[in-house]
Amino acid sequence: MSGLEIRGLRVSFDGFTAVDGVDLDVRPGDLRFLIGPNGAGKTTLVDAVTGLVKAAGSVRFGGEELLGRSVHRIARSGIGRTFQTATVFEELTVLQNLDIAAGSGRSMWTMLRRRKGVPEPVARALETVGLTELADSPAGTLAHGQKQWLEIGMLLVQDVRLLLLDEPVAGMSHDERQATGELLQRISEERTVVVIEHDMDFMRSFARSVSVLHAGKVLSEGTVAEVQADPKVQEVYLGHTSTEVTADVAVQEA
């Protein structure tokens, strides 16, 4: 399994520095949560890693430098992401969405035709994300949470080694969050997972490690307990340092 190693990452938009010299190490198989106030630079960091914005510094995955590569080459290096809004083909079935993501070189016609056999990797992804029963349902009829799971499944069929998920549980019910957290734990047994998240209960339940981003910089890093007890984190969220009880509230409100 490969890890992610970011050094001196910097992204500027017209003189405004959104990511300001970030160093970040995510060990292979980690389930890292990336938290921080709105505008902290979380999405921009993921955009930089996936080649969507120009960045300075270094981003290595499995030892290979990614910065300067095209979006497609980065994707082919085993890196995949989801966006804050789901991007599935609503008219196509769950299975067809996975088939297209798998891009196994079959023609559109072959993929859209009813087939008997489901390719092994697709069947496994369906199972992992819990959508086997819904394989033939149009993606547009899925519940919000199920669409996010389908998107994660689309990364799994591409055998992505590093998943970067931008607020995957936003808008999900409590049960959907729980199921998603368990899914991410299972996935991170074999892959490296970075999750941008706002829901602090969700983070507390499932994060293996946490990085707090603030104004484009890493403010704090460690376990959930370490980050919550960090006076710097408390200050950012409350404007002053305080007891652990208020810190808890502060992080919840982030």
Ligand X SMILES: Nc1ncnc2c1ncn2[C@@H]1O[C@H](COP(=O)(O)OP(=O)(O)O)[C@@H](O)[C@H]1O
Q: What is the contact surface with ligand X in residues (CB under 6 A)?
A: 13, 18, 36, 38-44
Closest separation between CB of residue 118 and ligand X, Å? 36
When binding is defined by CB under 5 A, the residue of 9, 26, 43, 230 that contacts Mg ion is 43
Which of residues 9 and 157 has its CB atom nearest to ligand X in the complex?
Answer: 9
Closest separation between CB of residue 60 and Mg ion, Å? 23
Q: Are 116 and 95 in contact (CB under 8 A)?
A: no
How far from 213 is each of 33, 35, 68, 196, CA to CA, in Å?
A: 10, 6, 24, 10
* Strand partners of residue 9: 22
Closest separation between CB of residue 202 and Mg ion, Å? 16
Which of residues 42 and 191 has its CB atom nearest to ligand X in the complex?
Answer: 42
Using CB under 5 A as the binding rule, whether residue 209 contacts Mg ion is answered as no
Q: Which helix (H) or strand (E) holds 166?
A: strand 162-166
From Mg ion, ligand X, none, which one binds at residue 38 (CB under 5 to 8 Å depending on kind)?
A: ligand X
Closest separation between CB of residue 43 and ligand X, Å? 3
Which of residues 126 and 212 has its CB atom nearest to ligand X in the complex?
Answer: 212
Torsion of CA 213, 145, 150, 223, to 10 degrees: 30
Which of residues 40 and 247 has its CB atom nearest to ligand X in the complex?
Answer: 40
Q: Compute how many residues bind Mg ion; rule: CB under 5 A.
A: 2
Go through the chain and tell me how many residues it has.
254
Q: Are 34 and 196 in contact (CB under 8 A)?
A: yes
How far from 190 is each of 179, 186, 225, CA to CA, in Å?
A: 18, 8, 25
Residues that bind Mg ion (CB under 5 A): 42-43
